[in-house]
Amino acid sequence: MKLLRGIALCAALAGVCAVQAQVAPSTAEAARYQGLHAAAQAGDAARIATLAAQGADLEVRDDRGRTPLHVATFARQRGAIQALARAGANLNALEHDRYDAVTIAAVANDEETLRLLLALGASAKQVTSRYDGTALIAAAHLGHSGVVRQLVAAGAPLDHVNNLHWTASIESIVLGDGGPRHQATLQALVDAGANLQLADHDGRTPLQLAQARGYADMVKILEKK
């Protein structure tokens, strides 16, 4: 019964995470943007440079606390991201729900934008979101194995424990579907040396969680360690 309750909790939390993840600007919001926010949304790097030279506030916020960098990341406007970085924008700023550009790109499975942000100096190590998680945990939850490998290479903390008492390895199991994407994600974490003895609130290790959910391929990955 305890196990069934735990699985039900995982399923419920998966829905919560989906609902409460970072929110991209809506079409209506984007239409109201002015200044740097408008330039970031449109990918107008020249306008960003002009406004920055005129002293525009690079950290100006919209109603949800998004800076122009957040907006450019949501819009996959990499030229705008480069222009903002050159002008001195904070690459690690958090919006109102405590998401940074790295986590936004990670959740979107936008490997190219993530690669740019990391190359420009954005951190893969920040604690983000209301769950006190990381970009790595968010990517593992969603089965974005390429993103996971990028973040690991950039020094993301492999064994960070969020306020649900889950690591990236645990989230790849309890919030995954056991399929190829999440298998590849777990393999990436195992290859990187994640601590597979860290357990959830109920004392269950990643191996025990995979066994309980009947994820045979994940069990094989974990039993090899």
Question: Residue 115 falls within a domain, yes or no?
Answer: no
- On whether both 14 and 29 belong to a single domain, the answer is no
Based on the fold, state whether residues 171 and 150 are members of the same structural domain: yes
Please write the tens of the pLDDT for every residue from 186-196: 999 999 999 99
Which pLDDT value is given to residue 22?
82
- 159-182 tens-digit pLDDT: 999 999 999 999 999 999 999 999
Q: What pTM was computed for the model? A: 0.91
Please tell me the total count of domains within the chain: 2
Instruction: Say whether both 210 and 144 belong to one domain.
Output: yes
| Whole-number Å distance between alpha carbons of 20 and 131 | 10
Contact present, 150 and 140 (Cβ < 8 Å): no
* Within-domain flag for 211: yes
Cα dist. 175→26, 37, 54, 140 in Å? 27, 34, 47, 9
**DSSP for 56-78?**
--TT---TT---HHHHHHHTT-H
Q: Considering the domain boundaries, does residue 114 fall inside one?
A: no
End of a domain among 96, 111, 146?
A: 96
User: pLDDT tier at 20 (50, 70, 90 boundaries)?
Assistant: low
Q: Is residue 206 part of a domain?
A: yes
Alpha-carbon distance 146 to 52, whole Å? Answer: 34
Question: Would you put residue 103 in left (φ > 0), alpha (ψ -120 to 50) or beta?
Answer: alpha
Full residue range of the structural domain in which residue 52 is found: 25-96
Whole-angstrom Cα distance, residue 203 to residue 167? 13
Q: What is the pLDDT of residues 49-77, one digit of tens each?
A: 999 999 999 999 999 999 999 999 999 99
- Are 16 and 30 members of one domain? no
The CATH number given to whatever domain includes residue 87 is 1.25.40.20
